[in-house]
Structure 1
């Protein structure tokens, strides 16, 4: 692997799909990765199940400002932590597929491989000792990894009651997607991060999101084998300073045992793909994530806008219970060519715009690293074409006229069911820009932001009664050329959306 694959541009090109040039790959079912980590012999803390989940409107929650607007004078207790975990990464249904149990979850994942994990450090939680815990969503319990006062990583100037850490396990996705899997691991971390952000806001917790931290220090804290599993995001829960506990980084941390680190291995036979390790290690230094603010439409396309359409300023008309939306979220692809009302279309676009740019609760680097676009099909309440979404001006800029839906379905590895979707939500970046501003860590910012917004799209679609299905399998350059992107422009993620056929034969 040459050094060029240690950049965002180099890795993305090295793992790009090209038509007629994808090498065959059979799944090794005998070594399918486990869906949860195993820590034999370590004590567990069962989480309470009699939870008071918030009864709020999804669109009201989704369109509230970012994390800093939430205030809480009281440290969270164990029931609030359990509610946050259930909402962000809970089991919503169980089924049996091919004789094996399958667990539907509140969070989307490429290929239902769930490469992410959640850990919790407790500094001041009523009902939970100070320490480090691993969250098992299937058993709905916390495994005790450390029982001691711990530092808050990354260090902040405000009191921290607890920290959630989102990690990614490479082989869970690489088992299917090989060297391309880093894309999906980081995208899926963004899915989980968005669910957690929404959950903490719904529970009126004050929090801050961090993507820049010392990777080695964080791996040591969590007991990870950093060749196999890495930390990708942290969320601190804050309380008033005079109610906080000492979380200074001066606390010395002993490495956890080899048995604990070995839990990062989730299959009896794993393959290490150098492309994945290369790009992650190259981005291990902090990218200085808050320093650059790019234009919200930083992805260069050829030509000028053909037209501009203002988003409707009317209040959101749909009512949908937030917890029920999470429980109903699924990946659905049985799209049908049915018309969509202007009201529903604008509700969806407005919800996405409220999650982007200056209104976003994500770190500034994420907001600067990505641009969202829309391919509108024939049944949308605006002319078919390719549009960029400008969240600051609250406008859609038409860049290409005419429906590209079927051509994009072909560019998505000929998954032609996508041509029936009413619209395609596109997440675009400029890979050279990422490298120039943040180095290789910029790839994380762009992909985490794409996953975060993708999760929001899943939930908004569910609330509207639509189907949604995320796509990362793309003939990369073919899709970029279709959209008229420059040489370093890339489509990194696509979500197909629109009316679907229900089991009763009705449309939604």
Structure 2
């Protein structure tokens, strides 16, 4: 294998965009991927729609779940599972675009292609047999894939009541983004993971998040065609040691039937990209380890440091209403942002980056986050890194860089009107050195997870947000003064939008 097939740095370089060098690509509309997996003939269980959803404030509780805060006495029941699914990946509105139905969802997705799928392994639950289920967000139902006791994958030393598995279907994104699609599949998995994390916290569930497991075992458990669909994340729900059941890790699972594996195919004519398959396979044996050395993505010392201070009067926003209102909005306007609301946003992001997030330590080591501030922010214009440990902004560059960054994002000049650009940065060579090819999963999933949090925080503040993965990679890195291997992997434009004229925050 050459390095583009087996390393994060090689894949990232091979799929980088360069100005005037992007090959033209026409979308094959006749073979547009289906948004729902087809499990014809298998039992389908409708989920209850009149659910009692949590009424909690977004900023003071929902966006800061503590996965170890308490242990429920019993496993979640059927209604609670339905609420978790609705909050994590529910349809929030329906519309018709170009004569076709369009479903707005609580989770963001690159190009609205939704490559992520969600599965539930129930070990003990009031209202569900022990077994494996696939979640259909459009039909709001579960399809029963296995009815039998299941092992908990990965194995843990605490009782597990249920597990959620997030997968990605390559072709759903590759239909539009070709070999670059692995980036978006990972980002989308992170978006969904964050929504799931927030839902479990709002419902007082105790959970643990896992990105390291045996890829072959999870594919067998979930009935995936590993050439088309792969597992990317798992969340175990835990119960009290005296009340819960520990799934037996020794259970031998029969391979799923051909019809179940065939459901990973979502189009009559699919293209396969070796760059995606080779990098994913190369990372199949990776393992999360703590980083003893920090990842450096910029040169030199900060020009200045600004302490983050929580607002004395934070904005009140209902968590479930925030999910329902979440959209990708790009009609930004030039309007001043108050210091209180800027600090509320920045504080929300640093809180989501620390150990309290419940994310594996490798994720927190594999990614850095920063802000490009416009002249409408209450801090001097420039490029800042977020330091979650010191709770500070570290100024790296001064000056108005927003317009130049919009040009580096494939000349999407509407970005120059955003109040700020939230930046997610990594060093693919560092990822390779520490974790091998699997490190790319850690960085990109973490970027997507924090991007989803940014969408929700912006919505709660009455702002707009729109994520961008289409970047002239080296051009953006040079603009920010990143190291030789430093890379901007995701950007979210954020700020006041036209719908908020007269009520700017």
TM-score class normalised by the smaller sequence:
over 0.9
Deviation for aligned residue 1:355: 0.4
1:328 paired to 2:322: no
Checking the alignment, whether the CA contact within 8 Å between 2:286 and 2:438 is kept in structure 1 is yes
Deviation for aligned residue 1:292: 2.4
Q: Output the CA distance in 1 between the equivalents of 2:481 and 2:60.
A: 36
Which digits, 9 at most, give the CA deviation of each residue in 1:110-141, with x for residues without a partner?
Answer: 00000000000000011000000000000100
Checking the alignment, whether the CA contact within 8 Å between 2:65 and 2:202 is kept in structure 1 is no
Matching of residues 25-64 of structure 1 within 5 Å: 25-64=25-64
1:496 paired to 2:493: yes
Deviation for aligned residue 1:75: 1.3
Flag structure 2 segments of 5+ consecutive residues without an equivalent: none
Checking the alignment, whether the CA contact within 8 Å between 1:406 and 1:416 is kept in structure 2 is yes
**SS of residue matched to 1:440:** helix
Checking the alignment, whether the CA contact within 8 Å between 2:46 and 2:140 is kept in structure 1 is yes
1:305 paired to 2:266: no
Q: Output the CA distance in 1 between the equivalents of 2:501 and 2:427.
A: 44
Q: Output the CA distance in 2 between the equivalents of 1:234 and 1:367.
A: 17
1:291 paired to 2:294: no
Which position in structure 1 is the counterpart of 2:232?
A: 232
The two structures, once aligned, show a CA RMSD in angstroms of 1.4
Which position in structure 1 is the counterpart of 2:336?
A: 339
Q: Output the CA distance in 1 between the equivalents of 2:255 and 2:152.
A: 16
Deviation for aligned residue 1:243: 1.7
Checking the alignment, whether the CA contact within 8 Å between 1:335 and 1:498 is kept in structure 2 is yes
Which position in structure 2 is the counterpart of 1:222?
A: 222
**SS of residue matched to 2:498:** coil
Which position in structure 1 is the counterpart of 2:258?
A: 258
Q: Output the CA distance in 1 between the equivalents of 2:69 and 2:243.
A: 19
Q: Output the CA distance in 2 between the equivalents of 1:303 and 1:211.
A: 33
Checking the alignment, whether the CA contact within 8 Å between 2:372 and 2:423 is kept in structure 1 is yes
The number of residue pairs the alignment matches comes to 505
1:373 paired to 2:373: no
Change (3 A) 1:196 1:294: farther
Normalised to the residue count of structure 2, the TM-score between the two structures is 0.98
Q: Output the CA distance in 2 between the equivalents of 1:244 and 1:360.
A: 24
Normalised to the residue count of structure 1, the TM-score between the two structures is 0.97
1:164 paired to 2:164: yes
Q: Where does structure 1 differ by over 3 angstroms across 4 or more consecutive aligned residues?
A: 313-316, 503-508
Flag structure 1 segments of 5+ consecutive residues without an equivalent: none
Which position in structure 2 is the counterpart of 1:354?
A: 351
Which digits, 9 at most, give the CA deviation of each residue in 1:410-444, with x for residues without a partner?
Answer: 00000000000000000001111101110000000
Which position in structure 2 is the counterpart of 1:134?
A: 134
Checking the alignment, whether the CA contact within 8 Å between 1:75 and 1:239 is kept in structure 2 is yes
Checking the alignment, whether the CA contact within 8 Å between 1:293 and 1:368 is kept in structure 2 is no
Which position in structure 1 is the counterpart of 2:151?
A: 151
**SS of residue matched to 1:457:** helix
Which position in structure 2 is the counterpart of 1:8?
A: 8
Which position in structure 1 is the counterpart of 2:469?
A: 472
Q: Output the CA distance in 2 between the equivalents of 1:147 and 1:433.
A: 43
